[in-house]
Structure 1
Amino acid sequence: MFTGIVEATGIVETIQHNDSNIDFILNCPFTSELKIDQSLAHNGCCLTVVEINENNYRVTAIDETLEKTNLGQWKIGTEVNLERCLKFDGRLDGHLVQGHVDKTGIVEKIEDKDGSFFITISYDSTDEYTTVPQGSITVNGISLTVAESGNTSFSVAIIPYTWEFTNMKNLQIGDIVNLEFDIIGKYVNKLMKKNALL
């Protein structure tokens, strides 16, 4: 379980294909604090640390993960948002995030609002996931508040701090981002569908 508050960014150092899986070796500021078998969110996707070697660590993305996320598009040098799992003795600054990417979206528009940024993201039509104004959404592992909501798109406002200290600053029109929709909204949606069948 995560909060969507990015701790730091890491850099992809090596990419190794292993049958249908991919091993990623990354470097990050807190590598020395990691442990084998620890859960770590990468752009919002929970991956398990399987090896630590000095300043680098390795994680493996299986085929299903690669199909649902943007991890397959990573290259050497890609900057990745990182968050260690939630500790229950601290404050919940973002919202409850599972680290299970629901689907990807496409960056449609980036507007500079004199210091802050307004980003519009579209996604394939679905009746499973939805957004609401002032609701929560996770984009590349970042807990954000929905500013505007459409049937297959939404917009978020990014403050300068988030822009500077995450990989948001690297986004370009057409980029693919990982999306995790609010868990409460997903449960409500499923319950409503179930009741409709009764």
Structure 2
Amino acid sequence: MFTGIVTAVGEIVALDTREVGVRLRVASPYDPDGIDMGASIAHMGCCLTVVDKGRLPDGRGFHDVEASPETLRVTTMGDWTVGTKVNLERSLKLGDEMGGHLVTGHVDAIAVIESRVEEGDMAVFRFRVPHAFAKFVAPKGSVALDGTSLTVNAVEGDCFSVQIIPHTLQVTTWGERKAGDRVDFEIDLMARYVARLREAEAAG
């Protein structure tokens, strides 16, 4: 589990396309000595398992992760190349502060940035999500976008908007985001279960 509070920005420094899936090497500020083999780290909101770790010749720490074809299909990971910057978050520990909302790291779909409008030192982003997932987004509710917990400002059809504060723009990949970019989208965990309960009730 995660909270959607990004704690570092990593960089893809190697990418190995396998017969099935892909293996990625991610450089980050995380101390590799503090990362357990098999640990879960969210990369742009996608929970991935650490399969190797160490230090690069330049002294930066790195960790390796692997992704299946299904992960590549439902996330933006298939667009990543060497040099791509990624939002990172270590998994939640019991007793940690819950600064965002409960995030599973299981990306539901890809959303597209329809527009970005600067408002002072903040930015308002408008997103379009696949129609099947629009019902899970509510005004003042939470969504995880590229692994960042954000509050929905307004909803209109299959689109919704969020306002991102200067701090988030500076310490995540959001400062570089623009109209037309694709982002990883995870619906709120509570919304998922409420919708499932309603479906079960309707089915009798």
Normalised by the size of structure 2, how large is the TM-score? 0.94
Q: CA deviation at 1:129?
A: 4.7
Whether the 8 Å contact between 2:117 and 2:125 is mirrored in structure 1 is yes
Matched pairs, number: 198
Quick check: 1:133 aligned with 2:139? yes
Whether the 8 Å contact between 2:11 and 2:27 is mirrored in structure 1 is yes
Q: CA deviation at 1:150?
A: 2.4
Whether the 8 Å contact between 2:26 and 2:64 is mirrored in structure 1 is yes
Normalised by the size of structure 1, how large is the TM-score? 0.97
1:51-107 CA distance string (max 9 Å, x none) = 012222110011000001000100111110000000111211100000000111001
Residue equivalent to 2:202: 196
**Would the alpha carbon gap of residues 63 and 99 (structure 1) be closer, same or farther in structure 2, given more than 3 Å must change?**
same
Give the secondary structure class of the aligned counterpart of 2:131.
coil
Q: Distance in 2 between matches of 1:184 and 1:172?
A: 29
Give the secondary structure class of the aligned counterpart of 1:126.
helix
Whether the 8 Å contact between 2:134 and 2:157 is mirrored in structure 1 is no
Unaligned stretches of 5+ residues in structure 2:
56-60
Whether the 8 Å contact between 2:44 and 2:88 is mirrored in structure 1 is yes
Moved over 3 A (4+): none
Q: CA deviation at 1:127?
A: 5.7
Q: 1:170 aligns with which of 165, 176, 184?
A: 176
Q: Distance in 1 between matches of 2:133 and 2:146?
A: 22
- What amino acid maps onto 1:50 in structure 2? V
1:142-190 CA distance string (max 9 Å, x none) = 0000001123111110000001100001112111100000011111111
- What amino acid maps onto 1:183 in structure 2? L
Q: Distance in 1 between matches of 2:87 and 2:39?
A: 16
Quick check: 1:39 aligned with 2:45? no
**Would the alpha carbon gap of residues 69 and 164 (structure 1) be closer, same or farther in structure 2, given more than 3 Å must change?**
same
Whether the 8 Å contact between 1:25 and 1:58 is mirrored in structure 2 is yes
Quick check: 1:93 aligned with 2:118? no
Residue equivalent to 1:150: 156
- What amino acid maps onto 1:101 in structure 2? V
Residue equivalent to 1:8: 8
Residue equivalent to 1:24: 24
Give the secondary structure class of the aligned counterpart of 1:27.
strand
Whether the 8 Å contact between 1:137 and 1:179 is mirrored in structure 2 is yes
Q: Distance in 1 between matches of 2:84 and 2:68?
A: 19
Residue equivalent to 1:79: 85
Q: 1:119 aligns with which of 115, 119, 125?
A: 125
> Between the two proteins, what is the percent identity of the paired residues?
35
Residue equivalent to 2:58: none
Q: Point out the more displaced range, 71-80 or 52-61.
A: 52-61
Q: Distance in 2 between matches of 1:156 and 1:192?
A: 27
Q: CA deviation at 1:20?
A: 2.5
